[in-house]
Amino acid sequence: MNTDDLINMLASGDTRPPAMPIRRILAWLAVSVLGSFMLMALFLGVRSNLLQVLALPAFWMKFIFTLALVAIGWRLTARLSLPGARTGLVATLLALPLLALWSIAAVSLMTAEPGERSELFWGSTWRVCPFLIAGLSVPVLFAALRAMRELAPTRLRIAGAAAGLSAGAAAAAVYCLHCPELAAPFVGFWYVLGMLIPTTAGALLGPRVLRW
Amino acid sequence: MQRIDKAGIRSDVDQTELRLRTLFIQGATGDEAAYRQFLQTTAAHLRAFLRRRLGSWPDEVEDLVQESLLAIHNQRHTYDTDAPLTAWVYAIAKYKLIDWLRRHARRETLNDPLDDENEIFSTADSDAREAQRDLRKVLDLLPEQQRAAIIHTKVDGWSVRETAAALNMSESSVKVAVHRGLKVLTAKLQNES
């Protein structure tokens, strides 16, 4: 077929673009976060003293940190799903919550008694925390990659990584409702490590599953 | 001297951006003639760009022009109006080129980095040719309903309503069949070459 014939074919009939499947994508994401919450509630359990914990600033620091990463991560993922959309500014914004939390962590380590520092960093659940966050991120990562396939990512590895990071941040937010740790140094290292597991998984999966 | 040349290219590209964007936006409101013009202009730029990039495979250029056009058409809902249209077209063309090179496991042509958005729109070649492979034959490989929906609405010039009546489908399923069919077509082209 000559290219002019192809052009005639594509330009005949309805040339209006199909609507963005935004509602469908939001529905998938909502269901997947709910799935992540259900996994947490069933296998780990919501903290019994959650109501008391809600009164502590340390909890809100941790929760807002994860939510900020969720918001910026999803924005970045959305931009990476559109060809040619600018991503530099949003990607830079990702550093803000990290820097803020690490500053708090640094201050709390410096002001703590030397004997208490290791407790602030290791807590009592460092062995499981990253893996539980990674586990809770599975449904969200799956939904995010599925949603991206409806669009047109052109940098597949970075796009997959961004989807993984957003899924990890959402899982970490869900995990906050179970996690007993409140120290900034713990969150700044083990939570971040937990989010990096789905980020790596996304970077590995991206080139395979996002091709179009 | 060079600065003047660069400025000249820059303003040509700006003109192209303005013209293509107008045509694309008119096309998005259902103006077939504007959309055809958009695709034709884009095809000419793509052809010159790909010919330069696929120096060792001149026979593949037209196949890849067609594949990129199909991709641009299938993904026309992903254009973010905040960014330049030429950046959107460039991102898709670059993606299709890299995807093709990867499929052929030959990366050496990428030594020349792909990072200049103006590269496509500073040159044009309107000499449309026959592609190596015949898209119509690939169309025949589609599931019957999708194939029929595409042929009726896009080749025979039937309206969606007429096609829906002839195929005994709802109008919205005709639209979905056309959209899906063109996506399946892209996948088949990728697997074939």
Q: Decide which of 1.10.1740.10, 1.10.2020.10, 3.30.420.10, 3.40.50.2020 is the CATH code for B1-130.
A: 1.10.1740.10
CB contact under 8 A, A15 and B40: no
Q: How far apart are CA A203 and CA A16, in angstroms?
A: 34
Mean pLDDT value across chain A: 94
Tell whether B129 is within 8 A of chain A (Cβ). Answer: yes
**Cβ neighbours around A76 below 10 Å, total:** 23
The answer to whether residue A139 scores a pLDDT higher than 50 is yes
Task: Return the closest-CA partner of residue B46 out of B79, B90, B76, B15.
Answer: B90
Nearest-by-Cβ selection for B83 from A12, A17, A86: A86
Tell whether A154 is within 8 A of chain B (Cβ). Answer: yes
pLDDT category of residue B1 using cuts at 50, 70 and 90: very low
Q: Locate A99 and state its tokens.
A: 């820097």
CB contact under 8 A, A14 and B175: yes
The answer to whether residue B126 scores a pLDDT higher than 50 is yes
Task: Return the closest-CA partner of residue B97 out of B138, B51, B143, B131.
Answer: B51
β-bridge partners, B130:
A2
Tell whether A108 is within 8 A of chain B (Cβ). Answer: no
pLDDT category of residue A63 using cuts at 50, 70 and 90: very high
ipTM of the assembly? 0.87
Domain range annotation of chain A: 23-209
CB contact under 8 A, A12 and B154: yes
- Give pLDDT, residue B41: 94
Comparing A15-29, A143-157, B66-80, B98-112, the range with the smallest average pLDDT is B98-112
CB contact under 8 A, A152 and B135: no
CB contact under 8 A, B91 and A1: no
Nearest-by-Cβ selection for B92 from A11, A17, A83: A83
A7 contacts B39 by C-beta, under 8 angstroms: yes
Tell whether A83 is within 8 A of chain B (Cβ). Answer: yes
The Cβ-side half-sphere exposure at A119, using a 13 Å CA radius, reads: 6
Looking at residues B108-115, what average pLDDT do you find? 60
Contacts 24+ apart (CB under 8 A), B141-145: B141/B188, B142/B181, B142/B184, B142/B185, B142/B188, B143/B181, B143/B184, B145/B169, B145/B177
Tens digits of residue pLDDT in A83-132: 998 898 999 999 999 999 999 999 999 999 988 999 999 999 999 999 99
Task: Return the closest-CA partner of residue A104 out of A137, A57, A143.
Answer: A57
Domain range annotation of chain B: 1-130, 133-193
A160 contacts A205 by C-beta, under 8 angstroms: yes
A186 contacts A59 by C-beta, under 8 angstroms: no
The answer to whether residue A208 scores a pLDDT higher than 70 is yes
Tens digits of residue pLDDT in B69-93: 999 999 999 998 888 999 999 999 9
CB contact under 8 A, A7 and B43: yes
Residue B5 identity (one-letter amino acid):
D
Tokens 């990584």 correspond to A161
DSSP string, chain B: -HHHHHHHHHHHHHHHHHHHHHHHHHHHTT-HHHHHHHHHHHHHHHHHHHHHHTTT-GGGHHHHHHHHHHHHHHTGGG--TTS-HHHHHHHHHHHHHHHHHHHTT--GGGGS----THHHHT-------B-SS-HHHHHTTS-HHHHHHHIIIIIS---HHHHHHHHT--HHHHHHHHHHHHHHHHHHHHHH-
**Architecture of the CATH domain B133-193:** Orthogonal Bundle (1.10)
